[in-house]
């Protein structure tokens, strides 16, 4: 009986500690992008809109770029380069004609979630940005992630490698 009570005390003392360690380690690496280790940030669907966009064929997508508060503050202040801690998330959907309004286009099936994380030390070799591209919540392969920085460098180097401008 005393042994059972002692075991119960040890369990009740250690389990919260072990759980806190497990939670502190963050998301599973299986959900992180190859090369960069970027994950989909919790709560991003509630973040403020930076700008919508439409992508023509062959992608035929509607897109919305949202940002964390660090990103929003930098955009509103016109601050470049973006500060470390900036996170941008692009949500994308197939374009679909509205059944109620013939001239309207609405979001159809979700296609990707793309994430950029600014950490000038961790991602020094890619302009300070880490990249993640996810389909159905899972990161795409390494080959696709290897194309991220080259595309941003070629087209948006003068804007700290970010395509999106704040919508008026």
* Cβ within 8 Å of residue 162, ≥6 positions away: 82, 88, 116, 152, 156
Which of 110, 91, 96 shows the shortest CA–CA distance to 164? 91
**3-class secondary structure, 167:** coil
Domains of the chain as residue ranges with CATH:
28-159 (3.50.70.20)
Predicted pLDDT at 30: 72
**3-class secondary structure, 7:** helix
Q: How far apart are CA 27 and CA 23, in angstroms?
A: 8
Bridge partners of 106, per DSSP, are 96
β-sheet with 105-118: strand ranges across: 48-55, 61-67, 87-97, 105-118, 129-135, 138-139
Predicted pLDDT at 11: 36
Phi, psi of 82 (to 5 degrees): -65, 145
For the entire predicted model, the pTM comes to: 0.81
With 0-12 / 13-18 / 19 or more C-beta atoms within 10 angstroms meaning exposed / middle / buried, residue 103 is exposed
Instruction: From first to last of the 168 residues of the chain, give the pLDDT tens digit.
Output: 544 433 333 333 333 333 332 333 344 457 999 999 999 999 999 999 999 999 999 999 999 999 999 999 999 999 999 999 999 999 999 999 999 999 999 999 999 999 999 999 999 999 999 999 999 999 999 999 999 999 999 999 999 999 999 999
Predicted pLDDT at 25: 37
């Amino acid at each position: 009986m005393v042994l059972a009570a002692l075991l119960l005390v040890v369990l009740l003392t250690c389990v919260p500690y072990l759980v806190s360690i497990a939670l502190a380690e963050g998301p599973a690496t299986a959900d992180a992008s190859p090369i960069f280790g970027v994950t989909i940030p919790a709560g991003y669907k509630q973040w403020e809109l930076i700008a919508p966009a439409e992508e023509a064929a062959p992608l035929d997508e509607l897109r919305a770029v949202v940002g964390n508060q660090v990103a929003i503050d930098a955009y509103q202040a016109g601050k470049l380069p973006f500060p470390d801690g900036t996170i941008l998330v692009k949500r994308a959907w197939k374009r679909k004609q509205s059944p109620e309004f013939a001239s309207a286009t609405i979001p159809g099936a979700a296609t990707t979630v793309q994430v950029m994380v600014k950490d000038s030390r961790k991602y020094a070799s890619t302009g300070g940005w880490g990249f993640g591209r996810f389909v159905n919540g899972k990161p795409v392969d390494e080959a696709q992630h290897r194309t991220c920085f080259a595309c941003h460098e070629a087209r948006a180097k003068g804007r700290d490698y970010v395509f999106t401008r704040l919508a008026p």
